[in-house]
Amino acid sequence: MTTAQPFVEIRRRLHQIPEPGFAEFKTQRLLLDTIATLPQQRIEVKTWRTGILVRVKGSNPTKRIGYRADMDGLPITEETSYEFRSTHPGYMHACGHDMHMAIGLGVLAHFVQNPIADDLIVIFQPAEEGPGGAKPMLECAEFAEWRPDCMFALHIAPEYPVGTIATRPGILFANTSELFIDLTGTGGHAAFPHKANDMVVAAAHLLTQLQTIVSRNVDPLDSAVITVGKIESGTRQNIIAETARLEGTIRTLSVESMQKIKQRIETVVKGIETGFDCQANIDYGANYRQVYNDERLTREFMNWVRESRIVQLVECREAMTGEDFGYFLAEIPGFMFWLGVDTPYGLHHSKIEPDERAIGVAIDLLTRYIAWKSGN
């Protein structure tokens, strides 16, 4: 078993340097420097933008097994009790990507020292939080050369205790889409509303109508969410606003519902344009495909976990969270699972402090499973 402490220390160093998507320059450098300290006889390394692909050569390969760890941080000001808090103002590893990378390095280090028959491809993927690194990485030449035959990933889960993992066959995470709507009318003096087109009022009507789409246009046996988390409009209390901007997210458990919701949003927005004599623009921003776990491989993994008794296994429900690992799973059989880290604060919270003991749990679980899978 690979000792986890060096990777706990690396996690803390990574935690101090969170960076936005496709700008993970310090993160990439630290990962490459760490990989360079490992014996190099069986390692090949490629870079793609700020991402890294590492091939550990098998002794008699018949397939390639892939493991993916994401790299980027979030635009959140950290409020943890850590001595190793973020040194990048306004950015934080609040989604566990520092843990994911440390686990990936632990898996890599283990198999450099303990050869298996098959090739292992460890993928450090940038820009999971946005604008989405999985899809372009999947399409790049570097990935194509070492394309895995199966692949998997994990995500920390604050609600589960250390020593517990959770997953399910089929859909695990939702289809997601960002939503940005800009409204433009005519500004004016608050005393003369008849000479202006008030975008505060238009935005208020639009917000209300958006909230009827899920309740009246989506099959009640399906699941979907439209959340508008931010509205910006106006400059002063006595000036009629010329513009308004709504920012939100769409989440669905089916591709069909995502398409239908977008169609309804566009119809509703056209009505706002007509009703308030304004212009509107819709931008769906980053779109993430559902994380759909391969039925056979996931059942195989779950049965192996139950028999090995390394960790406790929970067969969980699907979640409305989004993850761009779904793009890999759309083309390559595999799965994702939740890793318990036992913290009262949720993902993307400024005070989240995952239990670092989970790093060792994950490295132990993954190295044993990959070795078993290679011999299977």
Predicted confidence (pLDDT) per residue in 44-90, tens digit = 999 999 999 999 999 999 999 999 999 999 999 999 999 999 999 99
Predicted confidence (pLDDT) per residue in 227-255, tens digit = 999 999 999 999 999 999 999 999 999 99
Domain ranges of the chain: 5-173+292-375, 179-287
- Write down the pLDDT at residue 2: 59
Average the pLDDT over 138-166 and give the result.
98
- Write down the pLDDT at residue 376: 62
Q: Considering Cα of 149, then 155, then 159, then 161, what sign does the dihedral take?
A: positive
Average the pLDDT over 324-332 and give the result.
97
Q: Is 138 helix (H, G, I), strand (E, B) or coil?
A: helix
How far, CA to CA in Å, does 4 sit from each of 61, 90, 364? 27, 29, 9
Instruction: Find how far residue 45's CA is from the centre of its chain.
Output: 24
Alpha helices in 130-198 (DSSP H): 134-138, 141-145
Average the pLDDT over 298-310 and give the result.
98
Residues 153, 213: Cα–Cα separation, whole Å? 33
- Residue from 19, 24, 70, 323 carrying the catalytic annotation: 70
Tell the CATH topology of 179-287. Answer: Alpha-Beta Plaits (3.30.70)
pLDDT score of 1 more than 60: no
User: Is 353 among the catalytic positions?
Assistant: no
- Residue from 24, 98, 119, 129 carrying the catalytic annotation: 129
Cis peptide before 131 (omega within 30 of 0): yes
Predicted confidence (pLDDT) per residue in 91-112, tens digit = 999 999 999 999 999 999 999 9
User: Is 129 among the catalytic positions?
Assistant: yes
Tell the CATH topology of 5-173+292-375. Answer: Aminopeptidase (3.40.630)
Q: pTM for the complete prediction?
A: 0.92
